[in-house]
């Protein structure tokens, strides 16, 4: 989970810096944009993997199921953030 979150933050920071945003602002923005979404997505995907395979195993048929649950898990938070706070994640 940590590797996925760190990779996502680095990628988002890089993309923001390419849009002429200073490094410290880009890092703060990347951390605030979707950290909760990333954590919930990673957790959901890992739980589905563990539940279906019984451990930390890579099984190809589990991948679409895991991706699906990783995709839909952060929707309520993202919807709330956009509708109630008027803040998009990206």
Helices and strands (H and E) in the chain: how many: 4, 0
Q: Would you list the domain boundaries of the chain?
A: 2-85
Torsion of CA 42, 80, 33, 71, to 10 degrees: 30
Q: How does the average pLDDT of the chain come out, rounded?
A: 86
H helices of 19-74, where? 23-53, 63-72
> ∠ CA 29-35-41 to the nearest 5 degrees?
145
Quick: pLDDT tens for 33-60. Answer: 778 888 999 899 999 999 999 988 889 9
pLDDT of residue 89: 55
0.85 exceeded by the pTM? no
């Amino acid at each position: 989970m940590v590797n996925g979150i760190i990779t996502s933050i680095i990628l988002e920071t890089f993309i923001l810096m390419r849009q002429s945003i200073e490094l410290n602002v880009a890092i703060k923005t990347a951390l605030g944009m979707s950290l909760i979404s990333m954590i919930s997505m990673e957790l959901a995907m890992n739980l589905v993997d563990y539940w279906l395979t019984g451990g930390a195993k890579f099984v190809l048929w589990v991948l679409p199921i895991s991706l699906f649950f990783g995709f839909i898990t952060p929707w309520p938070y993202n919807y709330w953030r956009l509708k109630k706070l008027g803040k998009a994640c990206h």
